Amino acid sequence: MKLQRKHVLAAGVAVVAAATVAVGTGLGFADSAPTRQSVCAGSITFSAEAGGPAATSNQFPVGTRLRVTNLDNDRSVEVTVVGPSGSCVLLNAAAMELVREPGKNVIRRNVVERIGDDAAAQPGAGQPGVIADRPGSASPPAARPVAGSACQGAITFFEEAAGPAATSDRFPVGTRLRVTNLDNDRATTVTVTGPSGSCVLLNSAAMEQIREPGKNLVRNNIVEVLG
């Protein structure tokens, strides 16, 4: 009889312990940290702009503070939006240096969070990837691959007060490129002036020569190397 009581008591303790764990998990005592939601979707790249860590954006107004985290190395940087660009967030060189892995110019796995007093009013929250030049479009059409083009994919830009120029992750400084918008047949000839995280990243003057009104991306394009 005593042995039987010990078994019953042990079983009762196990049930109570299991219930305590279940209740604790439900109340958040266990590891239940929510997954952070990014306010931007897709890879993050950078411009060759000098200065302290900062960013440009086609979604957030000047003065907005953002925290960008590289999920591959858990390094973060807090930046202030200082002007427009063709990306949800485009880091400058100093900001990229703080979060990228050695030798990598693109952060593919990332989280972008809006911080500060106005963080609750996040443009595009719950709709990551909405492009400013296509309101309401959560899944913009992909750029058509173009045979013979030196670069593939959509082309965007960074804000720079200078004549038409570009930066690149593969063409050396001094390379001349012709970039044509196939949707309106407008072209610009630019010289690569520095590095960036894109095959070709136009500055604002070059983008102005070829983009369609109100659009910050050139999705259908051809890039030719002139020498």
Could you report the per-residue pLDDT of 106-128, keeping only the tens digit for each? 898 999 999 986 555 444 433 33
Strand partners for 65: 80, 115
Report, as an integer, the average pLDDT of 186-206: 91
SS3 204: helix
Q: Regarding predicted confidence, which is higher, 121 or 149? A: 149
% of residues, the chain, pLDDT over 70: 70
Provide mean pLDDT across the span 17-37.
Answer: 43
Predicted confidence (pLDDT) at residue 141 exceeds the cutoff of 50: no
Please name each of the domains of the chain with its CATH number: 35-132 (2.40.40.10), 157-225 (2.40.40.10)
What's the pLDDT at 147? 63
- What confidence score (pLDDT) does residue 64 get? 95
Provide the token pair at 207. Answer: 């983008």
Element (H, E) at 189: strand 186-195
Residues 88/59, Cβ–Cβ less than 8 Å: yes
pTM listed for this prediction:
0.58
For 16, phi then psi, to 5°, come to -60, -45
- Residue 148: per-residue pLDDT: 82
End-to-end Cα separation, the chain, in angstroms: 95
Distances (CA, A) of 197 to 98, 173, 184, 187: 14, 14, 26, 22
Selected residue with higher pLDDT from 123 and 147: 147
> Which is higher by pLDDT, 23 or 67?
67
Average pLDDT over residues 61-77: 95
Helix (H) / strand (E) element for 176: namely strand 176-181
Helix/strand/coil for 23: helix
